Structure 1
Amino acid sequence: MQWAYVVIFVLLVGDCLLPFLPAETSVIAGGALAAGGQLRLPVVLVATVAAVAAGDLLTHEAARRGGRRLFGRWTGKGRPRRVLTKVSGALQRRGGAIVATGRFVPMGRTAVALATGYARFPRRRFVPALLVGAVLWSCYMVSLGYLGGRVFDQPYTAAGVGSVVSIAVTAVFAIRQARAPKKQHEGPNGRISDELHGQGRAQG
Structure 2
Amino acid sequence: MDIGNADSWGAAIYFWLIPMVLADAVFPLVPSEMVVITGGALSADGRANVFLVGLVAAFSSWIGDVVVFQLFKRRLSHVLDRWSWGRKLHQGMHHAIEKAGRSSTYGAIIGVRFIPGGRLATSAAAGIADVTTRSFYLCAGIGALLWAVWLVGLGYFTGTATGLPFWASSLIGVAVGLVIGAVVGMIATRRRGNRSPVEEPESDPSPS
TM-score range, shorter chain: 0.7 to 0.9
Secondary structure class of the residue paired with 2:164: coil
Out of 89, 94, 109, the residue aligned to residue 99 of structure 1 is 109
Query: Superposition RMSD on alpha carbons, in Å?
Result: 2.4
Query: 2:195 is matched with which residue?
Result: 195
Query: Displacement, 1:160?
Result: 0.1
Q: May I ask how many residue pairs the two structures share in their alignment?
A: 174
Residue 145 (structure 2) pairs with residue 132 (structure 1) = no
Query: Displacement, 1:111?
Result: 0.6
Q: TM-score, normalised by structure 1?
A: 0.77
Residue 154 (structure 2) pairs with residue 154 (structure 1) = no
Query: 1:166 is matched with which residue?
Result: 177
Secondary structure class of the residue paired with 1:195: coil
Query: 2:129 is matched with which residue?
Result: 119
CA–CA distance in 2 between the matches of 1:61 and 1:198?
15
Query: Displacement, 1:198?
Result: 8.3
Query: 1:5 is matched with which residue?
Result: 14
CA–CA distance in 2 between the matches of 1:24 and 1:61?
23
Contact 1:13 1:51 in 2 (8 A): yes
CA–CA distance in 2 between the matches of 1:31 and 1:98?
26
Query: Displacement, 1:98?
Result: 1.3
CA–CA distance in 1 between the matches of 2:182 and 2:27?
20
Secondary structure class of the residue paired with 1:17: coil
Query: 2:4 is matched with which residue?
Result: none
CA–CA distance in 2 between the matches of 1:197 and 1:31?
36
String of CA shifts for 1:3-47, please: whole Å, max 9, x gaps.
Answer: 210101110000111111111000000000001011111110110
User: Structure 2 unaligned runs (5+)?
Assistant: 1-9, 82-86, 92-100, 200-208
- The 1:198–1:104 alpha-carbon spacing in structure 2 relative to 1, beyond 3 Å, is farther
- Equivalent AA in structure 2 for residue 112 of structure 1: T
CA–CA distance in 2 between the matches of 1:148 and 1:66?
42
Q: Which shows bigger deviation, 96-105 or 168-177?
A: 168-177
Secondary structure class of the residue paired with 2:146: helix
Out of 37, 43, 50, the residue aligned to residue 52 of structure 2 is 43
Query: Displacement, 1:102?
Result: 1.9
CA–CA distance in 1 between the matches of 2:115 and 2:127?
18
Q: State the identity %.
A: 24
Query: Displacement, 1:195?
Result: 1.6
Query: Displacement, 1:171?
Result: 1.1
String of CA shifts for 1:94-142, please: whole Å, max 9, x gaps.
Answer: x211111121123111011111112221011101111111111111000
Q: TM-score, normalised by structure 2?
A: 0.76
Contact 1:34 1:41 in 2 (8 A): yes
- The 1:177–1:128 alpha-carbon spacing in structure 2 relative to 1, beyond 3 Å, is closer
